[in-house]
Amino acid sequence: MKKLILVAGARPNFMKIAPLMHALKGNKQICPVLVHTGQHYDVKMSGQFFEELNIPQPDINLEVGSASHAVQTARIMEGFENVCINEKPGFVLVVGDVNSTAACTLVAAKLGITTIHYEAGLRSRDRSMPEEINRLVTDAITDVFITTSTDADENLLNEGVSSGKIHMLGNLMIDSLVANLEKAAASPMEFQLLNRLQTITPLLWKKSGRGGFGVMTFHRPSNVDDEISLKKLVKIWGSISGKIPLIFPVHPRTYKNIQNFGLQNEIDRYENLYFIESLGYLQFINLVQNAEFALTDSGGIQEETTYLNIPCLTVRPNTERPITIWEGSNKLITLEEIESEVQLILDGKGKTGKKPVYWDGHTAERIVELIENLEKVKIF
Ligand code: UD1
């Protein structure tokens, strides 16, 4: 049996780990050990995702919690080193680009354990993003590179990775989406909200067959940690909500900053700007499925909207997921362009696209098959 540690740390990791855990169930060749670093720990940010995505309870939880980047990374490394020494895995699989991804790869690589990075090769080429640093560090030392699109393959080849180590197998986040679309559509709480919104914007609802509202998420430090930028955003959200209701499940980082910068009163004044608690997976997907558009700075939502062919406006100067622009329904825009771009969508001129290759709901099966055939690259 091959012992495989799978690492999950923060919210966007959970929908990537879930399909893998399901595909590994009952596997005769691979014995999975699930390690949660505890980077995200709230029920809303973690526990609810495990429950809804039917992920088994982690075998080990490092419970590192929130801290500065250096302290959080150090805590993860310290805890994960003990795990690797005790468990003696043959393989460690990390996903995405969060601090847990880079920290655990560093530990495993130094212990001579074969490391596998799912979502390798994505590059924003913006080193002011902590995620870009995590991607570069992880890909500098990982042994096996699993990618979600061919642009990631090209990035890795340009960085000198040999083609035999790169495996383009599709998108695990889309596996989770495909598996849960029906359940998400039936998620009850949001229907009440959606029904209420349909009475506000009935014309738009009839025209598009969707819900007559926009869904928003913002949590990138560059947008929400800076007071001037967050103040500008609040004004823009308010103005858009005068044309179409906006629903914003608020990330804890953004919520804290809104309070610290004293912006809650202004937000409360906008009648159709709905700030709600950050949602579980099913409710959130329900919102996205029914939205006229997404306005976001997230990575995952660019992919989910591309699969669902819903216009996505990404308020960032760059993206590590350019395939969502070349092939999908995503557009990169500036703060200043938000209002005119939303207007284009309301006028029926939103961007549409197609699904990238292998974004088909079967990526986890392909990854499991790859791992079954993997030889250990290093000696433990
Ligand atoms: C992290 C990831 C980011 C990912 C995002 C998704 C890194 C560098 N960043 O950013 O790539 O897109 O998760 O959410 O790994 N907090 C809670 N409850 C929690 C977790 C965090 O209240 O369960 C609070 C923390 O106290 C902190 C803030 O939220 O002040 C931000 O959390 P943190 O994990 O530092 O980074 P994220 O912005 O969530």
Alpha-carbon distance of 30 to 45, in angstroms, equals: 29
Q: Are 128 and 136 in contact (CB under 8 A)?
A: no
Q: What integer pLDDT is reported at residue 194 of this predicted model?
A: 66
Helical (H) or strand (E) element with 198:
helix 188-200
Is-contact 76 35, C-beta < 8 A? no
Pocket of ligand 1 (CB under 6 A): 10-12, 39-42, 45-46, 66, 98-99, 130-131, 219, 251-253
Q: Name the burial class of residue 166, with classes exposed (0-12), middle (13-18) and buried (19+) by CB atoms within 10 angstroms of its CB.
A: buried
Task: Identify the pLDDT of residue 208.
Answer: 78
Report the nearest-CA residue for atom 28 of ligand 1.
Answer: 253
Mutation probe of ligand 1 site: the residue of 7, 97, 98 with most atoms within 8 A of C-beta = 98
User: How far is it, in rounded angstroms, from Cα 247 to Cα 327?
Assistant: 26
Q: How far is the CA of 318 from the centre of ligand 1 (A)?
A: 20
* Amino acid 40: pLDDT: 97
Question: What's the mean per-residue pLDDT of the chain?
Answer: 94
Dist CA 25 CA 27 (whole Å): 5
**Ligand 1: distance of its center to the CA of 158 in Å?**
31
Whole-model pTM: value is 0.94
- Residue 253 alpha carbon to ligand 1 centre in Å: 7
In whole angstroms, what separates CA 323 from the centre of its chain?
15
pLDDT in tens, 53-70: 999 999 999 999 999 999
Who contacts 379 (Cβ-Cβ below 8 Å, separation ≥6)?
112
Write out pLDDT tens, residues 213-267: 999 999 999 999 999 999 999 999 999 999 999 999 999 999 999 999 999 999 9
Using the atom order of ligand 1, give the atom closest to the CA of residue 10: 13
Confidence of residue 203 (pLDDT cuts 50, 70, 90): confident
Confidence band of 380 (pLDDT split at 50, 70, 90): very low
Closest ligand 1 atom to residue 98 Cα is 15
Which of 98, 91, 95, 79 shows the shortest CA–CA distance to 40? 98
**Residue of the CA atom closest to atom 20 of ligand 1:** 40
Q: Please give the DSSP secondary-structure letter assigned to residue 354.
A: -
Over range 83-106, report the average pLDDT.
98
Query: Which tokens is 195 given?
Result: 């029904």
Decide the pairing of beta strands 166-168 and 144-147.
parallel
**Side-chain half-sphere CA neighbours of 25 within 13 A:** 9
